[in-house]
Amino acid sequence: MTDETTPNWDAFREKVSTYLESHNRILREFRGSMDNANNFLELAKLASEKEPENTVSMLEQIKEIDLFGHLTRQHEAFQEVAGMLAPGSDDPAIRLQAEEFEDLEGQYEAMLEEAEAQMDLLETLLAQLRGNA
């Protein structure tokens, strides 16, 4: 018998599972966006000599999307919830979920590094193109 002060661990684990699934989806979507941005940056390198004005316009549009900023905000929201999990829990399901949080944290960190590198490359290309215009 449970009362209102007894935590409902099954419901808690289900909510955490749903949250993890949500962030897995978010990371997959960001991965697709990051891949697209990489493709556009490669195209920008190739087109920069032939069509500098169009390339600047394309790069400015990519910059406005701000993948790094969006990914940073998602990561911060993820960390807020991840910090509430008790890593020393005796419940095997909660321990497994804590491992999933650690895995997602690693994925976020790797993607943030990549997004920052993309942003740096974008800024470098823009500076070069504006210097040549």
Confidence class for position 63, pLDDT limits 50, 70, 90: very high
Token reading at 56: 């600047």
Q: Could you tell me the CATH number of the domain that includes residue 108?
A: 1.20.58
Residue 1 lies in a domain: no
Residue 1 has pLDDT above 70, yes or no: no
Residue 84 lies in a domain: yes
Task: Give, for 108, the enclosing helix (H) or strand (E).
Answer: helix 92-132
Question: How many percent of the chain have pLDDT more than 70?
Answer: 86
What's the domain count of the chain?
A: 1
Question: Which three-class secondary structure string do you get for 23-80?
Answer: HHHHHHHHHHHHHHHHHHHHHHHHHCCCCHHHHHHHHHHHHHHCHHHHHHHHHHHHHH
Residue 54 structural domain = 9-132
Residue 54 lies in a domain: yes
